[in-house]
Structures are given as structure tokens and as C-alpha cells.
A = this chain, B = another copy of it.
């Protein structure tokens, strides 16, 4: 069993160590939209009954339009993590795994825990016939590296040559729909796309993601998850929100992101990457910066594999921006 990864969102532990209550911490350690979409009305039956097929089908149809998957209906899963946990089963008997690194740590943790050999790669040229599975996060977390769709498709083609699969995690893809390859899955049956519902809509507590895959791979995931894997409220809420005012959400996120970057640049920090939902800064002593922000009860995300990096998420409002600016100002970065 691999050691657990210290993820963002750990304000309970942070408050226990640095004081304050979790409610009063400013949590900038995740990439979740800090201004959640308003919850639609939920029919009482959705809470009461096992998730009905028509509720699931409505969510799948909405996801198909929202993610532009054409005739393929995305499969709802209880969070992208649930799909990651199943990846060892499609990695190919006796094959190795290639992960475009550095990236979200759960891929390597889960695959290694299952006994697979994982290689860090950076370009299609690094792929070998021994790789049964490749994983790309696009845009990448935490670097913000973008892989254009044609590059993704070339990687998929390279994997296909030896019977391998490519998983593309587009968890932060909602703000850049033209960069998605979800619409290419129907024509590329060795391509699998993971989408996250909670980050863009600000509803990570729901636990909902979608797997866009060929019918054969979708059937495997469905069988491994078993019936009713996603809660009724998650299905009902997502169906309504994906058909609702997503432009308003985008505008709100863009405003928060601009405010965050203004604070970081104003403090003289070196912005080296990010997506619409977080910014990556590089700093000689990022761990000290992380600790100093903890003293101000502001949680950010540091990385054990690169002590110069700090990932900072969006604050919910101008008051949060000021609180971050003042903390950075006090420590004179």
C-alpha cells in the first residue's frame, strides 16, 4: 500500500496544527470554484429512491451536450477518484504505465499500489511498446501545461500502435472546451476521457465525475462500479446545472482568477503556471511561504517533489483577496 498523498483541502489538520477553526481558514489549497453554483430544487424522490434510470439518463444526456461527446453518453462515476481506482484493471497484463509528469499524484499512487511499474514521461517520444496505458492530465495540474488536441490524438495513435490505451484527465477543462478531446472518443476507441463535475461548478462535495469511453470500456467501468454508484442528488443537480447558465459561472471564475493573479504579481511572486482555477508560483523557499501563510490561517498547496512550487486557488471574494495580499505583504516575499 503506497503512502497516502497529502491533498489540498486538509483544513481540519491545518487548524489543529496552526490554530483557528476550519470555518475561519481561507482555503486556497484546492482547484475548486470558490463560488458554488446555486443548487437547483431537488425532488424529494431523488433523495428517497435508489437512483432511477431516468434520472441517470437525464444526467448522461446533459453531460453529452455539455462535454460535446456526440453520440457517446458519458458514464457518471462517484468522483474521478473512483475511476482512477479502477485504472490498474485496464493497464494491460504485464505492461507498464506511462504518466505525463509531474501531475496529479493519485495516478501514480494507485497504479503503483496495484503493483504496476510507472514511468514518468514528458512527450510522445518517450512512449514504448511496453506501455499498456498512458495518462495525460490536460490542462495539467499543477503546471498548467496544455496539450493541443492534435498532440493528444497523436499520443493516442502512438499508444494504439501497440494495443495500449490513453486516459486524458480533463478535470480542469471546463474553461477551455475547444481543447477537449471528449468529442474524439467516438472515433478513437483506445481513448478514455475523465471529466470532473465538482471543480468548475464548485460542488466537490457531491462526488461526481464522468468517464467518456468506447462502449466496451464503459461496460467494464460500469460493471466494476456496480449499480447505483452515483447518488441521486448528484445526478439530478448535475443534469440541471450543465444545462443552465455556465457562461455566468465562467465569468465569475475569470473575475476571481484575475484578482488572484493581481495579488500574486503585486506581491512580486513568480507565476509559472496554472489553469483558470489555480495559479502555480515558484519561490526559493516555497515551504517557508506555505508555513507563513498557515500562520495567517491561509492554506495553500505545497509539493513534496518540488520544494520551489506553491499552488494557490481562487479566493471567494475581494475580502479573501485582501487577506492574502496583506499576509504576503507582511512576510515581504
Contacts and interface: CB of A to CB of B under 8 A. Distances in A.
A207 B230 contact: yes
A151 to B, nearest CB: 29
Nearest to A2: B223
Contacts of A81: 226-229
Nearest to A203: B47
A30 interface: yes
Interface stretch (A7-15, A91-99, A260-268): A7-15
A53 interface: yes
Nearest to A113: B223
Interface string A220-241: 0001111111111110000000
Contacts of A198: 50
Contact of A205 (B8, B23, B47, B207): B47
A207 B229 contact: yes
A47 B39 contact: yes
Contacts of A53: 10, 12-13
A90 to B, nearest CB: 14
A156 interface: no
Contacts of A128: none
A144 interface: no
Copies assembled: 2
Given A79-B229, A85-B226, A229-B82, A205 B12 contact: no
Contacts of A45: 23, 205
Nearest to A56: B12
Contacts of A8: 50
A219 interface: yes
B54 A32 contact: no
A59 to B, nearest CB: 13
Interface string A3-32: 010011111110000000011000100101
Interface in A291-324: none
Interface of A: 1, 4, 7-13, 22-23, 27, 30, 32, 34, 36, 39, 44-54, 78-79, 81-82, 84-85, 106, 110, 113, 198, 202-207, 219, 223-234
